[in-house]
Chain A
Amino acid sequence: MSGLRESLTLPAPERGERGLEGRWTRLALRVVEAGPILILLLLAAAMTALSPFFLTGRNLTNLGFQTSIVAVLALGQLLVILTRGIDLSVGAVVALSGVLGGIVAGAPIADGAGGGLAVIAAMGLAGLAVGAANGLILVKGRVMNPFIVTLGTLSIVRGLALVISDAETVTGLPAAVGTLGTGKLGPVPVPAVLVVALAALAWVLLARTQWGRWIYAVGGNPEGARRMGIPVDRVLMSVYVLCGLAAGIAGLLVAGRTNAGSPNAGQLLELDAITAVIIGGASFFGGRGSVANVVAGALIIGVIRNGLNLLDVTPFWQLVAIGSLVIVSLELDVLRGHLERRLKVGRAEASS
């Protein structure tokens, strides 16, 4: 028996936390982690109490339309923010995608049966292309600052949208685009169905696939990821491409809703998207964030806008409310870090 080595043991957290205090810390951590969904439920309850219209089918349908664009953008932005990045160009992509759709719709390829599809494909590809450009500049150009890179492409893409449209709104989009933007399946807006589908795809990618795990790994520890043989550059590339694609799809929804492609569309939508991700509890420092919470983040923005509208509060207060929530969300992120450190200290003391 003397040959049997003693085992290397990593104690369970329960042993590390001294009694009640540890349990409270854990509970608080749980609450903070569920934050966005709790905030959404509280807001919805408050709005229901304040306005008899809030919980009506018609208003919820409206809410679905209003939220879907930000939600699509936020899903793309989440992927990028998970890798410690940011994509400021998505609002401009919405405009480019819209005017490009209008231009392709007027071109000969859009005649005939597959015309709608050609337009939709062009709009998605516009987003994909900008995303690929963002990714390439970051990875190949070794400019490891996504804020500046995408600030640059924001301006370039907005400029291109104005150039190719002669700064005019382009009309004549095919019916399919209109359906995507304004259609309904029963009471459910088509764009909301699209959001659910995209969210499901994003969830599978992030929570179930190897590539998704690597996205978290790159965000959590880029140099460590490289050392573990993870193709960091390709992972980064992929998130910018997907974010661009999401922006192209958001462009489809915006163009469908307004039945036109405007080179001025989507201004400041990038901020809405980033706001939704942050309110959705993802960490700006990368590596943390979930699809469900980010969709909740987009819904929170939607509920605030919609609810304050119903209550006849001026839109200026919406800005104040949403801005405040961003700061609260950041504070929650800090609080989460604090709670985790407390758990850690508790464990270290107990295991020594």
Chain B
Amino acid sequence: MTALLEVRGATKSYGAVRALDGASLEVAPAEVVALLGDNGAGKSTLIKAIAGVHRLDGGEIAVDGRPVVLRSPTEARRLGIETLHQDLSLFDNLSARANFHIGREPCRPRWLGRLGLLDERAMTREWTAHLERTRTRMDDPDGEVGVLSGGQRQAVAVLRAVAFASRLVILDEPTAALGLREAGKVLDLVRSLPEQGVAVLLISHNLEHVAQVADRAVVLRQGRVVGQAAPTPDNHERLVSMIVGAHGSMAATVDEGGQ
């Protein structure tokens, strides 16, 4: 079976910082893959490239076996890839509903293009349908997102990413700001995506969460994939040592010290 997403030898530097150093990754259709790694390992950098936010210095990205060049977030989205970024994902000055539709508001009439009038009715329809589909309740959808609590904001961002994806949802630490109960609900939502034929690339520092939803965990360290394993409780320690590099050779340790 062809992989839905394949990244090969991705490299990316920010000035002198080598954030990605030949990272490779595959996601099969309707698979839930966890991307693990310590702070600064390059996880966000990698998914930003897949999301079309920035371009790789080197390496390849293929979707359905075909190499693609993602010049903008719009191109990634056109391929059915939606992303929840770790930061700056919401517009505090807009309502939850406006945040939900942002960038792809239905408009009328068509010939007016971007100057078209917002089609409030179509937006309400999409919004309600999506809330029903994900069994979400939102009591004040027209209030500004800026006054919501961190967890509520996160929920809005998760919903937006999940709602519009047809192939792959990338979630960069979706449960980070959430309490126990809300995190559980987001994980439920993640688990339900493969049933709809949507794959998930999930970044999280919480191995318990990963164990609950992921089919496979890939570990990134210093911009390189250092290993992978099924995120079962048995593999917990192995994954942790891959993440921090404790099982590695002396060379790896020296590398870290030398930075």
Closest B residue by C-beta to A230: B103
Q: How far is the CA of A11 from the CA of B146 in the complex (A)?
A: 15
A15–B148 alpha-carbon span in the complex (Å)? 12
Q: Which of B15-23, B57-65, B131-139, B246-254 lies at the interface with chain A?
A: B131-139
In the complex, A314 has a CB within 8 A of chain B: no
- Complex contact A10–B139 (CB within 8 A): yes
> Within A307-352, which residues are at the interface with B (CB < 8 Å)?
340, 343-344, 347-348, 351-352
Asked if B228 is at the interface of the complex by the 8 Å CB criterion, the answer is no
Q: How far is the CA of A51 from the CA of B172 in the complex (A)?
A: 63
A1-28 interface bits toward B, Cβ cutoff 8 Å, 1 = contact, 0 = none: 0001111111111011000000000000
Q: Which of B33-41, B115-123, B211-219 contacts A (4 or more CB under 8 A)?
A: B115-123
Check: B199 CB closer than 8 A to any chain A CB: no
Contact check, A344 vs B148: say whether CB atoms are below 8 A apart: yes
Stretch of B4-12, B85-93, B229-237 lying at the A interface: B85-93
**How far does the alpha carbon of A4 sit from the alpha carbon of B196 in the complex, in Å?**
16
Pick from B74, B91, B189: contact of A221, CB below 8 A: B91
Within 8 A of A (CB), among B80-98: 83, 85, 88-94, 96, 98
**B116 touching A209, Cβ below 8 Å:** yes
Measured CA separation A288–B159 after assembly (Å): 25
Query: Is A216 an interface residue, CB under 8 A from the partner?
Result: yes
**When the two chains form the complex, which single residue of A6, A10, A214, A221 contacts B152, counting CB atoms closer than 8 Å?**
A10
Inter-chain contact B135/A7, CB cutoff 8 Å? yes
B135 to chain A, nearest CB (A): 4
* Contact assessment for A343 and B147 in the assembled complex, using a CB-CB cutoff below 8 Å: yes
Q: Does the CB pair A10–B91 fall under 8 Å? A: no
> Residues of B within 8 Å of A, CB-based: how many?
55
Does A340 lie within 8 Å of B118, measured CB to CB? no
B188 within 8 Å of A (CB atoms): yes
Chain A: how many interface residues by the 8 Å CB criterion?
A: 42
A146 at the interface (CB under 8 A from B): no
Task: Decide yes or no whether A140 CB sits under 8 A from chain B.
Answer: no
Cα separation A211 to B136 with both chains bound (whole Å): 29
Interface residues of A in 98-139 (CB under 8 A from B): none
The yes or no answer to B66 lying at the interface (CB within 8 A) is no
B36 smallest CB distance to A (angstroms): 23
Query: Of A7, A204, A205, which is within 8 A of B185 by CB?
Result: A7
Q: Once bound together, how far apart are the Cα atoms of A227 and B76, in whole Å?
A: 10
Given A210-B118, A216-B93, A352-B179, answer yes or no on A10-B147 (Cβ-Cβ < 8 Å).
no
Check if A187 is an interface residue, CB within 8 A of chain B: no
For the complex, give the distance between the alpha carbons of A340 and B149 in Å: 11
Least distance between A316 CB and chain B CB atoms (Å): 38
Is the Cβ of B192 less than 8 Å from the Cβ of A228?
no
Are B114 and A8 touching (Cβ within 8 A)?
A: no
In contact, A227 and B88 (Cβ under 8 angstroms): yes
How far apart are the CA atoms of A290 and B64 in the complex, in Å? 46
| Residue numbers in B under 8 Å from A228 (CB-CB) | 73, 102-103
Given known A7-B137, A8-B134, A229-B72, contact A220–B149 (CB-CB < 8 A): no
Q: B156, A209: Cβ atoms under 8 Å?
A: no
Task: Determine if B151 is an interface residue (Cβ-Cβ < 8 Å).
Answer: yes
Point out the residues of chain A lying under 8 angstroms from B184, CB to CB.
6
Q: How many whole Å from A291's CB to the nearest CB in chain B?
A: 16
Decide: B147 and A211 in contact? CB cutoff 8 A: no
On whether the beta carbons of B148 and A227 are closer than 8 Å, the reply is no
Q: In the complex the two chains form, is B140's CB within 8 Å of A13's CB?
A: yes
In the docked arrangement, what's the CA distance between A10 and B155, Å? 8
Q: A219, A226, A343, A352: which contacts B73 (Cβ < 8 A)? A: A226
In the complex, B107 has a CB within 8 A of chain A: yes
Report how far A211 CA is from B118 CA in the complex, Å: 9
Query: A308 to B94, alpha carbons, bound, how many Å?
Result: 39
Q: Are A8 and B135 in contact (CB under 8 A)?
A: yes
A12-B140, A13-B140, A227-B51 known; 16 new pairs, CB 8 Å cut-off, are: A7-B135, A8-B182, A205-B115, A209-B117, A219-B93, A220-B94, A224-B88, A225-B102, A228-B103, A229-B72, A229-B103, A230-B102, A288-B93, A340-B146, A348-B150, A351-B149
11 pairs across A/B with beta carbons < 8 Å?
A9-B137, A13-B139, A210-B105, A210-B118, A216-B93, A217-B91, A224-B90, A227-B85, A287-B92, A344-B146, A348-B149
A residues contacting B by CB (< 8 A) are 4-13, 15-16, 204-205, 208-211, 213-214, 216-217, 219-221, 223-230, 287-288, 340, 343-344, 347-348, 351-352
